[in-house]
Amino acid sequence: MSTHTFLKESTTTPDASNMRFGLVVAEWNSHITDVLLDQAVCALLSAGAKKENIIIKRVPGSFELIFGCSELARYKSVDGIIAIGSVIRGDTPHFDYICNGVTQELARQNSTGGIPIIYGLLTTENEHQAIERIDGTVGRKGEEFAMTAIKMIDFSWSLKK
């Protein structure tokens, strides 16, 4: 099984010491989302982010990430948001509705909202696949979400210079 993450390794990680992060985390499948959150926070702190500059808000499920990210962007002074959720396919089309709705709306918010919103939604066929994406077998996705947030905030700031 592949452990490649497809994320290009940079020679340097941008300094995150002045960056402010919002993390919106779904409570549904918390055995997955809590690990993603821990990985993301550890990666942010390792990159220099200050604990007081990391705001964590929880929402009931992945569909509620839409409202959570929108409100966090509107009311909190953050430079970027990471939306963290896990949707595991079941026996009904509910999986498709949730994944499509969240993906489309977060993409819209990301392109129109003025700050980067990082798509941290695991969409897997089964629980085993979700666990592989947090235990290192197929990456440590929470860390990847954090690195993406740092790089996108840095990218945004570079355009404002």
Q: Tens of pLDDT along 45-97?
A: 999 999 999 999 999 999 999 999 999 999 889 999 999 999 999 988 899 99
Nearest to 86 by CA among 140, 23, 33, 43: 33
Residues 33 and 86: beta-carbon distance below 8 Å: yes
Residue at 16 is within a domain: no
Binding residues for (2S)-2-hydroxy-3-oxobutyl phosphate: 91-92, 133
Tokens of 59: 């929402």
Residue 4 known to be catalytic: no
Report, as an integer, the average pLDDT of 130-144. 94
User: Residue 113 belongs to what domain range?
Assistant: 30-159
Residue at 18 is within a domain: no
Q: Is residue 156 pLDDT above 60, yes or no?
A: yes
Signed CA dihedral, 19, 24, 30, 36: sign only = negative
User: Which pTM value belongs to this model?
Assistant: 0.91
Residue at 113 is within a domain: yes
Which is catalytic among the residues 4, 31, 94, 128?
94
Residue at 8 is within a domain: no
Residues 102 and 66: beta-carbon distance below 8 Å: yes
Q: How far apart are CA 29 and CA 37, in angstroms?
A: 12
Binding residues for 5-amino-6-(D-ribitylamino)uracil: 28, 62-64, 86-88, 119
